[in-house]
Amino acid sequence: MNRLVPSFPTDIPQLSTNNFVSWHDVDFSGYLSLYSLFNFAQETAWKHAEELGFGFEKLGGNKLAWVLFGMRIKVINSLPKWQEKLIIQTQPKGISGMFANRDYRMLGADNQLVAIGSSNWVVIDMETRRPLRFDHVFDSLRFVENPNNLISRLKPRGEFPYLLNTYQAKTSDIDYYGHVNNAKYIAWITDLYSPEQLKNYPVDEILVNFMLETRFGDEIEIYADKEENEGKVRYKMQRKSDEKVILLAEVDWK
């Protein structure tokens, strides 16, 4: 991840967005919430994909859609506060197997770097819900040959002895595609803990693998390998009805 600290190379297209931190974007601390940070990052990616000609409009006409598989964010400095701005710089990096790679740099006041991140995306057929090979969709997305994939593939091995919550997907969780918005899962993780716990141990780094869709009404069990948010904690979310894993995450709490 440290390679994302310097400015992005100028020979690859990039987009920079200025995001105003509104009242609903902050948490109890008055700083940008992790949930909102994920939302801003996803929105910036969407805007850049549209600008580059392979966004919602082009894919939607062919009954295709971008789906986020993995996101990794490292917090470096304090995130912006209410009424401050968050600048997000994003740049596509190329193809790793079935995944399109995209990196992020997040800046706050005085252009101070506050976070860095990377993501993996797949294109799915909206009717079959199956991923497609990129050479069947786009002529070229290979901005970098053999890019360094920064999203580790997490596996549900080991013990997850603590059932921390069971959550039923509500209308407010569902996005345009009819499934739970990816950022909502981040809110579900932070909601496992009290404001005092999050104040004592804020997020240092988070890695998420989005495995399966969650639909309205699905009951999701959230397990962890530790009961408290201290140090490195692994999470598993699974659908209660069939015990299929829908999400795996690893969070380093400061």
Residues 96 and 203 in one domain: no
Structural domain includes residue 55: yes
Q: Confirm if 122 and 69 have CB atoms less than 8 A apart.
A: yes
The total number of structural domains in the chain stands at 2
Residues of the chain predicted below pLDDT 70: 134-146
Residues 127 and 173 in one domain: no
Structural domain includes residue 142: no
Q: What is the pTM of this model?
A: 0.92
pLDDT at 9: 85
Structural domain includes residue 150: no
Residues 131 and 37 in one domain: yes
Q: Confirm if 188 and 167 have CB atoms less than 8 A apart.
A: yes
Spell out the residues 6+ positions from residue 147 whose beta carbon is closer than 8 angstroms to its own.
93, 94, 95, 96, 101
pLDDT at 6: 85
Residues 66 and 12 in one domain: yes
Whose tokens are 């069939």? That residue is: 242
Residues 88 and 14 in one domain: yes
pLDDT at 137: 61
How far apart (Å, rounded) are the C-alpha atoms in residues 181 and 173? 6
The residue from 98, 120, 136 where one domain ends is 136
What pLDDT, in 10s, does the model give residues 118-150?
999 988 888 888 888 766 666 555 566 667 788
Residues 189 and 86 in one domain: no
Identify the domain containing residue 88 by its residue range: 2-136
The residue from 70, 101, 136 where one domain ends is 136
